[in-house]
Structure 1
């Protein structure tokens, strides 16, 4: 998308900073899109049929190349999230999503809708049940932003835990004209307004630590 720096560029749909948002699911994407307004909808990742969904950097790289364009000509940014908190959000989002209408995960909904959170954590490790083709919940967050060599491929990483301030930092770093929602606005509507730590016992916390070992090493997250 072309993100304007000033009013003159805001009035010209062909002017602005070239940026692409690598949207990791359940990491404040709606909050981010509202800050960029209509320009967000003009991004190739929203307009191109083959680019729809929560694709990874590597998938976008190929799609852009197939269209004769270089993804890395854009400023790439993403939002990450504490993995323990991420799974609390997934559990509530998919578990309450009757028929998987919003998540696109009807199989997962049927399997976890009646599970306790602890049983959901065990379910993540079960390889037998049928899953959707994307199977987002069983990935690591860093899967979305690594290149073929396993290196971080985005220039700017924002954290959901500090998303309002991090968006302000992104705005100021590139001199962007954004309409960031007011501080205190709800970032993730499917997330319970509770401390994620209360959902865990020691065993389940350690399961997530093992599952997200790369994320924890790369982003320095901890349970506390």
Structure 2
């Protein structure tokens, strides 16, 4: 999470959406950087509104801080998690996806109460409020990163923001069978709905 106090902007870091690259580029410019623990770095909108927003309002009279986040196509997002959990550092760990097909990973994720290797959270839960409405003021699709960067350049009055590739998942070709994709879209429809509301 990055807080830009003078500009009244808070960046909420949805995991696996390029957040580490954005943090790397903008942390020196931010008033506050929450890196650890992960529960704070990746505070979802409901946690931000319950705990941090009141703190910011009391701390400096900034009740109208706006929020900004990135959302990624759910299949691509799951693919990134799948590849990330296949790395050598997780071999033998219950979170490892080594030896598990992408289809089986997605099927397990779509159960809701999934096995540890497919327990990766939810972009929809991260970004929505109790009534299922989008809880951030500015939501951009990961696939439209140049537009998100242009927004940040304008809002932060920066000439240029260069994002380096950081925390990148191992590269590999992934395909999802039509049957599994259909099941994912049916059982996790909210994930797709939230992504579709991101700016393109």
Q: CA RMSD in A?
A: 3.3
Give the C-alpha shift of residue 151 in structure 1. Answer: 1.7
Question: Is contact 1:24-1:78 (8 Å) kept?
Answer: yes
Partner of 1:86: 77
Partner of 1:19: 9
Per mean C-alpha deviation after superposition, the further-off stretch among 90-99 and 57-66 is: 57-66
Question: Is contact 1:26-1:86 (8 Å) kept?
Answer: yes
Distance 2:166 2:175 in 1: 20
Distance 1:165 1:123 in 2: 33
Partner of 2:168: 189
Unaligned runs of 5+ in 1: 4-14, 101-105
In structure 2, relative to structure 1, the CA distance for the partners of 1:16 and 1:216 (3 Å cut) is: same
Per mean C-alpha deviation after superposition, the further-off stretch among 210-219 and 20-29 is: 210-219
TM-score (normalised: structure 2) = 0.76
Question: Is contact 1:77-1:155 (8 Å) kept?
Answer: yes
Partner of 1:63: 51
Partner of 1:54: 42
In terms of Rg, which structure is larger?
A: 1
Q: How does 1:18-167 map to 2 (within 5 A)?
A: 18-40=8-30, 42-43=31-32, 45-46=34-35, 52-64=40-52, 67=55, 69=57, 73-96=64-87, 98-99=89-90, 106-109=93-96, 112-124=97-109, 125=111, 127=113, 129=115, 131=116, 137-139=120-122, 141-167=123-149
For residues 100-136 of structure 1, what are the alpha-carbon distances to aligned partners after superposition, in whole Å with 9 as ceiling and x for unaligned? Answer: 8xxxxx4322xx222111221222227464x39xx85
List, as ranges, runs of 4+ consecutive aligned residues in structure 1 with deviation greater than 3 Å.
44-47, 65-72, 126-129, 185-188
In structure 2, relative to structure 1, the CA distance for the partners of 1:207 and 1:44 (3 Å cut) is: same
Question: Is contact 1:22-1:144 (8 Å) kept?
Answer: no
Unaligned runs of 5+ in 2: none
For residues 158-205 of structure 1, what are the alpha-carbon distances to aligned partners after superposition, in whole Å with 9 as ceiling and x for unaligned? Answer: 211121232113322x352264116xx5476215375xxx51110121
Give the C-alpha shift of residue 156 in structure 1. Answer: 0.6
Give the C-alpha shift of residue 51 in structure 1. Answer: 5.7
TM-score (normalised: structure 1) = 0.69
